[in-house]
Structure 1
Amino acid sequence: MDLSTQWSTVDGPDGAFDAFLALPRGGRGPALLLLQEIFGVNAHIRAVAEQYAADGYVVLAPDLFWRQGRRLAFGYDEADWGRAAQCMQRADVAQAQADIGAAAAALRATPGAEGRLAALGFCWGGRMAYLALANGHAEHAVAYYGGGIQHCLERADDIHAPLLLHFGARDAHIAPAAVRAIAERFEAREEVEIHLYPDAEHGFNCNHRSSYHQRSAAEAHGHTLLFLSENQ
């Protein structure tokens, strides 16, 4: 079979919610849990799911804002930024982590999903991926410009698995001091890998945004594929 996508349903602790499933050619591959930005499971996140499915992964992207509205998806103009930020502020992190745990279980049970489950998150989802690793929902994790990780460093001792972090040196939303604090906290941890892209801003991986930086996105994607293949 060729690459295929569909919306599926996850039975969560507080009710059922939707998740976008992307299957690779042949229908089998390592399990990858894709965690959204504040903009929901929008066109960009669905495209990322398809990208990794094309790379051979079974990808599930849960709708983590479902309590506020089913399949909320925003663009990147000023009005949608405001609405997305409100959703993030209203989202309960503990509930989101419980949903991520349910989504991880659903992904592991998906026919064709193999290997050690990885979490991959962007922006707010990057922090959720970090916490998912700390909470044992994933066996390894990748975070792109994970906003707020610097405020969760007390969970560092709960992480005993490989972690890959991508940051942009020109990110106006994550201060250099925050990146330094994260790097210093994990300095002695061989299983934690951090990449800083000198020309990249926040959202550098998203070609729907003006901050998209092709070279940084390509380099980060290469690092991510290597990391995932080494740990699957």
Structure 2
Amino acid sequence: MSRWIDLNTPHGPVRAWRAEPAGPSRGAVVVLQEIFGVNPHIRSVTERFASEGFVALAPSLFDPVEPGIELGYGDAEAQRGVDLRNRVGFERAVDVVEAAADLLGAEGLRTGVVGFCWGGSVSFLANTRLGLPTVSYYGARSVPFLDEPARAPLMFHFGARDKSIPPGDIELHRTKQPAARIFVYEGADHAFNRDVDNSHYHAASATQAWQRTLDFFAENLR
């Protein structure tokens, strides 16, 4: 079952898409959006986690500045997403993640975080600042924060062709986060998990990263 719920945060109410597993849960995952909002793609990712046995919750990180935003992938919409991302900022985004994790924790669920693009960088901060097990997909804005020590298990997925995260930046992740598991996918560009966008989706990489992500949460949310 999937539905919108209202999440209470320090910055006012935030909508969140919640998906429930059919049977007993294996834990909970907070799913963090790209710069396009909790759109149909992010909702489908949330539902995929539920189909694997996790309670999954995707908070609308833009709601503190502009509620109800769902964007497509054109240039104008991407620019609007960048503007909204900048207006929200990392501090407010992490506050929203904390509210989502607190809600799930109050239900007795061990909780991790997975994020994509901007959400990948927010998810990294959910690890260093909130102590949550984290999987980060192609978070291009994490480099300024890499000196923050990890406080929980951590995994990164990068595309080898992603110009927003060049090899030097990936190496910085290895150097500054030595305990993290880091995977680089040959043939994959930025947003290789976005299966609704043929210009970015890379099926082989997405499939392998997804299985590694499921294994990570199965191990760390027991």
The answer to whether TM tops 0.5 is: yes
Structure 2: which amino acid aligns with 1:124? W
Partner of 2:129: 135
**C-alpha contact (below 8 Å) 1:173/1:202 kept by paired residues:** yes
- Secondary structure, aligned partner of 1:90: helix
**C-alpha contact (below 8 Å) 1:21/1:60 kept by paired residues:** yes
Q: How does 1:189-200 map to 2 (within 5 A)?
A: 189=179, 192-200=180-188
The normalised TM-score by structure 2 is: 0.95
Q: How does 1:153-232 map to 2 (within 5 A)?
A: 153-155=146-148, 157=149, 159-187=150-178, 189=179, 192-209=180-197, 210-232=199-221
- Secondary structure, aligned partner of 1:18: strand
Q: Is residue 117 of structure 1 aligned with residue 114 of structure 2?
A: no
**C-alpha contact (below 8 Å) 1:120/1:141 kept by paired residues:** yes
Structure 1: which amino acid aligns with 2:181? E
**C-alpha contact (below 8 Å) 2:12/2:64 kept by paired residues:** no
Matches of 2:96 and 2:8, distance apart in 1:
9
Structure 2: which amino acid aligns with 1:170? R
Matches of 1:90 and 1:108, distance apart in 2:
28
CA shift for structure 1 position 28: 3.2
Give the alignment's Cα RMSD to 1 decimal: 1.3
Q: How many residues align?
A: 220
**C-alpha contact (below 8 Å) 1:33/1:104 kept by paired residues:** yes
Unaligned residue ranges in structure 1 (runs of 5+): none
Partner of 1:62: 59
Q: Is residue 85 of structure 1 aligned with residue 85 of structure 2?
A: no
Runs of 4+ in 1 over 6 A off after TM superposition: none
Unaligned residue ranges in structure 2 (runs of 5+): none
Structure 1: which amino acid aligns with 2:89? D
CA shift for structure 1 position 202: 0.1
CA shift for structure 1 position 186: 2.2
Matches of 1:160 and 1:78, distance apart in 2:
37
**C-alpha contact (below 8 Å) 1:104/1:137 kept by paired residues:** no
Change (3 A) 1:164 1:223: same
